[in-house]
Amino acid sequence: MIPKLIRGLAVLLLLVLAGGCATTGTADARDPLEGMNRSIFGFNKFMDRALFDPVGRVYKTVMPHPVDHSVTNFFSNLGEIAVIANGILQLKVGQAFEDFARFAVNSSVGVGGLFDVATGMGLPRHDEDFGQTLGYWGVAPGPFLIAPFLGPTTVRDAVGFGLDSAFLYPVSYVNPDVYRAGLMSLNYIDFTADSKGARGLIGDASFDEYEFLKNAYLERRQGKIRDNVETDPDPGIN
């Protein structure tokens, strides 16, 4: 597990360093790697049109809505472990206890997280991750990045995502590899299919989709660190 994480962080560092040659002289200090980012953004849009949107449409067509909803609930419930841990790391002990209660209820009464029973019991889902934890303790976000396939992030949030995924996401511990890959693929397909409408709104909202997405992501992440936004998903990695 540790070697895989180190390799992932090394690849991220190489991308950042290589991107120094791909700048466009942008005046936005948050985005010194804009040239590289726009190229990856274009690649992600192409992959969405060529592969993920068609797969998502098939998924939505063949998957009954209740089953689709349960798949989303299942993976969301697995993510509660990272939410609990990062709540504690941000000294939100009372919230972390609520999140643990939510995880326990949905994992038992909710049949392994397939059904969200806890929300109806007054235990809403919170959204905490290690990128937010680093921000809570004063770590700067670093340059804005577009990650292949995964979308907008920052150096800080990408590192946080890698650590959460490696250590606090149960699917990372599934063996053999083929089962882990299958679960991760299902999670990604479910996520992209569910977020297709939001991506369409981004395309309709601005002539420069990249600039719109960048500003929305950075503002939203800052809001989450200040606890202004807690429940809705980000249009990116974290």
| pLDDT tens digit sequence for 137-179 | 999 999 999 999 999 999 999 999 999 999 999 999 999 999 9
pTM of the model: 0.83
Using the predicted structure, report yes or no on whether residue 114 has a pLDDT greater than 50.
Answer: yes
Q: Which of 23-32, 51-60, 76-85, 90-99 has the lowest mean pLDDT?
A: 23-32
Decide if 21 is inside a domain: no
* Ramachandran area for residue 91 (φ above 0: left; ψ -120 to 50: alpha; else beta): left
Decide if 230 is inside a domain: no
Decide if 184 is inside a domain: yes
Q: Name the residue range of residue 62's domain.
A: 2-11+31-225
Report pLDDT for 219.
95
β-sheet bridge partners, residue 144 = 154
- The residue whose two tokens read 């500003």 is 215
Using the predicted structure, report yes or no on whether residue 57 has a pLDDT greater than 80.
Answer: yes
Q: Average pLDDT, whole number, for the chain? A: 87
Residue 63: how many CB atoms within 10 A of its CB?
A: 16
Decide if 106 is inside a domain: yes
Decide if 236 is inside a domain: no
Report pLDDT for 8.
52
Decide if 16 is inside a domain: no
Using the predicted structure, report yes or no on whether residue 12 has a pLDDT greater than 60.
Answer: no
Q: Which of 77-91, 197-211, 217-231 has the lowest mean pLDDT?
A: 197-211
Decide if 234 is inside a domain: no
Decide if 44 is inside a domain: yes
Cα dist from 156 to 56, 92, 226, whole Å: 30, 21, 16
β-sheet bridge partners, residue 154 = 144
Residue 1's pLDDT band, with cuts at 50, 70 and 90, is very low
Report pLDDT for 226.
87
Count of structural domains, the chain: 1
Tokens of 160: 């946080």
